[in-house]
Chain A
Amino acid sequence: MTRETLVNLVILAALIGTALVAQALGEGFVVTLATKAAIFALAGVGLNLALGFGGMVSLGHAAFFGIGGYVCAILASHAASGQPVAVLPFTIAGTNEMPAIWPVAMAVSGLAAGLIGALSLRTTGVYFIMVTLAFAQMIYYFAVSWPRYGGDDGLSFYVRNSFPGLNTFDPIQYFAICATLLVLALGVCALILRARFGLALEGARQNPARAQALGIRPYGLRLTAFVLSGMIVGLAGALYADLNRFVSPAMLSWHMSGEIMVFVILGGVGRLCGPVAGAAIYILLEHLLGGVSDYWQVLLGLLLLGIVLFAPGGLVGLIAPRRRHV
Chain B
Amino acid sequence: MTDLVQIDHLSAFYGPVQALFDVSLTLAEGEVLALMGRNGMGKTTTIRALCRLLPHAGGGLRFGGVDLTGLPAHRAARLGIGLVPEGRRCFLPLSVAENLTVAARPGPWDMARVCALFPRLAERMGQVAGTLSGGEQQMLAIGRALMTNPRLLVLDEATEGLAPVVRQEIWQAVRQLKADGLSILLVDKSLREIAAVADRAVILERGASVWNGPLADLGPQLADRYLGV
B144 to chain A, nearest CB (A): 7
Whether A211 pairs with B103 at a CB distance below 8 angstroms is yes
Whether B102 pairs with A203 at a CB distance below 8 angstroms is yes
Whether A326 pairs with B95 at a CB distance below 8 angstroms is yes
- Proximity bits, B106-146, A CB within 8 Å = 1, else 0: 00000000000000000000111011000000000000110
- Proximity bits, B69-104, A CB within 8 Å = 1, else 0: 000111001100001010001011111011001111
B138 to chain A, nearest CB (A): 15
Given contacts A196-B102, A199-B102, contact A206 B91 (CB under 8 A): yes
Among A199, A210, A213, the one with the most B-chain Cβ atoms within 10 Å of its Cβ is: A213
Chain A residues contacting B94 (CB-CB under 8 Å) are 199, 202-203
- Proximity bits, B43-87, A CB within 8 Å = 1, else 0: 000000001010000000000000000001110011000010100
Q: Could you say which of A46-54, A240-248, A317-325 contacts chain B?
A: A317-325
Chain A residues contacting B98 (CB-CB under 8 Å) are 199
Whether A214 pairs with B77 at a CB distance below 8 angstroms is yes
Chain B residues contacting A206 (CB-CB under 8 Å) are 91-93
B163 to chain A, nearest CB (A): 23
User: Counting CB contacts under 8 A, is B148 at the interface?
Assistant: yes
Given contacts A324-B131, A325-B127, contact A214 B103 (CB under 8 A): yes
Cα separation A212 to B83 with both chains bound (whole Å)? 10
Q: Which of A202, A212, A323, A325 contacts B74 (CB 8 A)?
A: A212
Whether B91 pairs with A210 at a CB distance below 8 angstroms is yes
Cα separation A43 to B124 with both chains bound (whole Å)? 37
Whether B128 pairs with A214 at a CB distance below 8 angstroms is no
Chain B residues contacting A214 (CB-CB under 8 Å) are 74, 77, 83, 102-103, 144-145, 148
Closest residue to B78 on the A side, CB-wise? A215
User: Counting CB contacts under 8 A, is A200 at the interface?
Assistant: yes
Closest residue to B100 on the A side, CB-wise? A199
Chain A residues contacting B144 (CB-CB under 8 Å) are 214
Whether A207 pairs with B91 at a CB distance below 8 angstroms is yes
List residues of B whose CB falls within 8 A of some A CB: 51, 53, 72-74, 77-78, 83, 85, 89, 91-95, 97-98, 101-105, 126-128, 130-131, 144-145, 148
Among all A-B residue pairs, the 7 with the closest Cβ atoms: A215-B77, A214-B103, A212-B73, A326-B126, A215-B78, A199-B102, A217-B74
Q: What are some 9 contacts across the A-B interface (CB < 8 A)?
A: A196-B102, A202-B94, A202-B102, A211-B103, A215-B103, A215-B105, A216-B102, A216-B103, A326-B95
